[in-house]
C-alpha cells in the first residue's frame, strides 16, 4: 500500500532522514518511535508532501506526488502536532468540514461526524465552540475529524498519519482514542503514528519502527523490537523490559540518570 524507496530529507546542511526504504501494508497500526530529533515528524511531513525530499513515496504503487489534492483528501488524513482550529467553529462544524470532498448531503456528513464524536465521547460538545474546549478535548476533536474524513466503507484502504495523537490526553482518553484508531487499522486501513509512550506502542501497535538519527534501526513486532539493549542505546537511558501481567505484550520501565540525582 505505502512504499518508501531510498527516502532522504535534508534541513539545510543536515540530513534528517537518511536513505530509508520500507513497505507498509493495510490492516496495520505502525508506531514511529525515537528520541527527539530522530526524524519522526520529518518523515510524516514528507508523507504529507509538506517538505521536499529525495527518493520516492508510493501510495498504491503510484508516486504520491502524482495524486491530486482532491483524490488524496479521500484517501489520507493527517493529524499534525499543532492542528489548526479555526475561530468561530463548533466541534460539529469542524468535524463535518472533513467530508467536503465527498459532495454528499449535509445530513450525511452530520450523521458520520456524530458517529465518531460519540465513539470518542465528544457528542455532548458537538454544538460547543472550539475556543471553549480544553487541550485534550480539542485533540480528541481533531482525531474525530480525521476518522470522519476517511469514513467510507466501500472504498480502498485509507492512510491515517498521526503526530503524537495522545500528547494532550489523560490515561483514560489515551486508551479510548487508541482503541478507536486500532479498530480503524484492523478494519483494513493503515495507520502511522508518532508516539513517545513506549508502553502505549507496545499495547496497540502491530509494528514498531525505531528511528535513530534518520535511519531505521529496527522494524518489527513490539515483542521483538522493544528490547532492553536497543532501547537503552537509542534513548541513552537504562531500560528494563518485562511481560505485561495480563496481556501478551512487553512493558518498559526506565531508570533516572544517576548523574542528575
What per-residue confidence (pLDDT) applies to 154? 62
153 has a pLDDT exceeding 90 = no
Helix, strand, coil percent values for the chain (each to nearest 5)? 40, 30, 35
CA 45, CA 138: separation in Å to the nearest integer?
Answer: 22
Q: Work out the mean pLDDT of the chain and round it to a whole number.
A: 95
Rounded to a whole number, what is the distance in angstroms from the first to the last CA of the chain?
48
| pLDDT tens digits, one per residue of 11-56 | 888 999 999 999 999 999 999 999 999 999 999 999 999 999 999 9
Task: Quote the DSSP letter at residue 260.
Answer: G
Cα torsion 86, 89, 82, 71 to 10°: value is -80
Does the pTM surpass 0.75? The reply is yes
| Length of the chain measured in residues | 261
Mean pLDDT of 98-111: 94
- Do 125 and 139 contact (CB within 8 A), yes or no? no
Give, in degrees to the nearest 5, the angle at Cα 174 between 128 and 154: 75
Residue owning grid cell 489523560: 170
186 has a pLDDT exceeding 70 = yes
| pLDDT tens digits, one per residue of 53-66 | 999 999 999 999 99
261 has a pLDDT exceeding 60 = no
Amino acid at each position: 500500500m505505502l512504499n518508501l524507496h531510498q527516502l532522504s530529507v535534508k534541513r539545510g546542511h543536515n540530513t534528517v532522514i537518511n536513505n530509508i526504504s520500507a513497505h507498509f501494508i493495510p490492516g496495520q497500526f505502525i508506531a514511529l518511535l525515537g528520541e527527539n530529533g530522530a526524524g519522526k515528524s520529518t518523515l510524516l511531513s514528507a508523507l504529507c508532501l509538506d517538505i521536499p525530499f529525495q527518493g520516492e513515496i508510493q501510495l498504491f504503487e503510484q508516486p504520491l506526488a502524482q495524486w491530486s489534492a482532491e483524490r488524496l483528501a479521500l484517501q489520507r488524513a493527517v493529524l499534525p502536532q499543532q492542528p489548526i482550529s479555526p475561530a468561530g467553529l463548533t466541534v460539529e462544524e469542524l468535524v463535518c468540514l472533513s467530508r467536503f470532498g465527498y459532495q454528499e448531503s449535509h445530513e450525511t456528513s452530520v450523521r458520520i461526524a456524530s458517529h465518531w464524536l460519540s465513539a470518542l465521547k465528544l457528542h455532548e460538545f458537538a454544538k460547543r465552540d472550539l475556543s471553549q474546549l480544553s487541550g485534550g478535548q480539542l485533540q480528541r476533536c481533531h482525531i474525530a475529524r480525521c476518522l470522519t474524513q476517511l469514513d467510507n466503507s466501500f472504498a480502498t484502504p485509507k492512510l491515517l498519519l498521526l503526530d503524537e495523537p495522545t500528547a494532550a490526553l489523560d490515561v483514560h482518553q489515551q486508551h479510548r482514542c487508541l482503541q478507536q484508531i486500532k479498530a480503524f487499522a484492523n478494519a483494513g486501513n493503515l495507520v502511522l503514528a508518532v508516539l513517545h509512550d513506549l508502553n502505549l506502542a507496545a499495547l496497540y501497535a502491530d509494528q514498531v519502527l525505531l528511528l535513530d538519527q534518520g535511519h531505521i534501526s529496527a522494524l518489527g513486532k513490539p515483542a521483538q523490537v522493544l528490547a532492553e539493549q536497543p532501547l537503552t542505546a537509542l534513548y541513552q537511558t537504562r531500560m528494563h523490559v518485562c511481560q505485561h501481567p495480563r496481556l501478551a505484550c512487553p512493558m518498559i520501565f526506565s531508570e533516572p540518570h544517576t548523574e542528575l540525582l
